[in-house]
Structure 1
Amino acid sequence: MLDLTQLLFAVLAAPYMVAVALYAVRAVKGPTIPDIVLAVDCISYDLAVFLALYSVYYQSPLMIAPAILLSLWAYLLDVFASKYLVSREVGA
């Protein structure tokens, strides 16, 4: 018999994987740089949420650390990409 955690993981895993596939298509075919940055950003955040669900599923609090690091990396990507798009340089 499936418990609630297994059911939630099974139900929520499929939409995240479909979303990652759609974002990957947008990242490859993106007509502009902001489209590509947004697609990579969405992939990163969706993967972080999926890793968090994975850590809840296996009841391992140590597995949440990669999700946090990935979220911070995605945030830094946003900062550097927006700074580049505004001023065309990534200096101090």
Structure 2
Amino acid sequence: MVIFVYIASMVMFFVRILRGPTIFDRVIAVDALSCDLAVFMALIALYTGNPHIAFPMIFIALWAYVLDLYVSKYLEFRDIGE
């Protein structure tokens, strides 16, 4: 039952990414989607008893963190690459 709630929330976040009126809405939606995807993968790993499914969840969480840093630097300085 919980898995269906996470799938529904991921669909809503994906819609927000596509239709977000501002860049801030899209960034928050991508961040929330990546966190939900990491939790979803952890639930699948617990459900199946396969711990190897949970390893990519670390990379997804790190990707979300790096994305937040990248976007915040861009929005603060409007210059990427320095």
| Same fold at TM > 0.5 | yes
Q: In the alignment, what sits opposite 1:15?
A: 5
Q: Which has the larger radius of gyration?
A: 1
TM-score by length of 2: 0.93
Once the two structures are TM-superposed, the CA of residue 91 in structure 1 deviates from its matched residue by 2.8
Runs of 4+ in structure 1 off by over 4 angstroms are: none
Please give the alpha-carbon distance, in whole angstroms, between the structure 2 residues aligned to 1:78 and 1:21. 21
Number of positions where the alignment pairs a residue of Structure 1 with one of Structure 2: 82
Within the alignment, does 1:68 sit opposite 2:58 as a pair?
A: yes
> Which ranges of structure 1 fall in alignment gaps of 5 or more residues?
1-10
Once the two structures are TM-superposed, the CA of residue 70 in structure 1 deviates from its matched residue by 0.5
- The alignment partner of 1:90 has SS state of coil
> Which ranges of structure 2 fall in alignment gaps of 5 or more residues?
none
Identity %: 44
